[in-house]
């Protein structure tokens, strides 16, 4: 939708069109008048509508290997938290173990490669958990190399209400 700064005489509101200004059904330039107030109002409405629909893709980086049952449960909580923050959480370690074997080195390497591809599609990375595993450290390094925003929680995730963020972090890694 294009919003025009010129209104048709007697119209009182901006002309909206998906066609270029030269659309043949528009009144001639002489039959329209400059209306910056309506233009600004319609532009603000369009901008607010666009912003309210945007949800950034957030890569959830948390431990998986080891106690996979507990770590998967935690990853679901982290994903829920990200969703409640109006983001689209991307948590590959909840997806790939459904059909790939983490104990098989080739499948694990493939899954990690898939993770890096997905990470490249995300707007930022959120790091969760009490520890940073070797796999997490590698993912964080990739995100930093790509100059993606990396956010890390400084608490141990015991209570959702006490989650605090440092953005950006991990400059020393």
- Buried b or exposed e, range 15-32, using 16+ CB within 10 angstroms: beeeeeeeeeebeeeeeb
Each residue's pLDDT tens digit, 109-146: 999 999 999 999 999 999 998 888 889 999 999 999 99
Q: In order of start, what are the domains of the chain with their CATH numbers?
A: 2-53 (no CATH), 57-166 (3.40.50.10400)
Both tokens of 102, joined, read 């983490």
Average predicted confidence (pLDDT) for the chain: 78
Mean pLDDT of 32-50: 72
Instruction: Identify the band that residue 153 occupies on the pLDDT scale cut at 50, 70 and 90.
Output: confident
Mean pLDDT of 37-62: 80
Mean pLDDT of 42-60: 80
Most confident of 10-14, 41-45, 131-135: 131-135
> Quick one: angle between helices 105-121 and 134-145, nearest 10?
30
- pLDDT computed for residue 42 by the predictor: 75
Residue with tokens 């829920």: 80
Cα–Cα dist 171/83, whole Å? 26
**In sequence order, what are the beta bridge partners of 57?**
88
Cα–Cα dist 127/139, whole Å? 10
Both tokens of 87, joined, read 């983001």
């Amino acid at each position: 939708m294009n919003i025009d700064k010129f209104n048709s005489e007697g119209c009182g509101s901006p002309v909206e069109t998906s066609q270029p200004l030269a659309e043949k059904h528009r009144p001639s330039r002489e039959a329209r008048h400059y209306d910056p107030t309506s233009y600004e109002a319609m532009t603000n409405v369009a901008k607010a509508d666009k912003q309210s629909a945007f949800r950034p893709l957030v890569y959830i980086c948390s431990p998986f290997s080891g106690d996979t049952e507990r770590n998967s449960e935690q990853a679901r909580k982290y994903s829920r938290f990200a969703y409640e923050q109006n983001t689209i959480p991307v948590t590959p370690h909840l997806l790939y173990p459904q059909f790939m074997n983490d104990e098989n080195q080739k499948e694990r390497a493939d899954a990690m490669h898939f993770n890096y591809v997905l990470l490249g599609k995300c707007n930022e990375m959120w790091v969760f958990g009490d520890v940073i595993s070797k796999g997490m450290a590698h993912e964080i390094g990739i995100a930093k190399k790509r100059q993606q925003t990396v956010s890390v929680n400084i608490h141990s995730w015991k209570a959702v209400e006490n989650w605090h963020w440092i953005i950006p972090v991990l400059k020393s890694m």
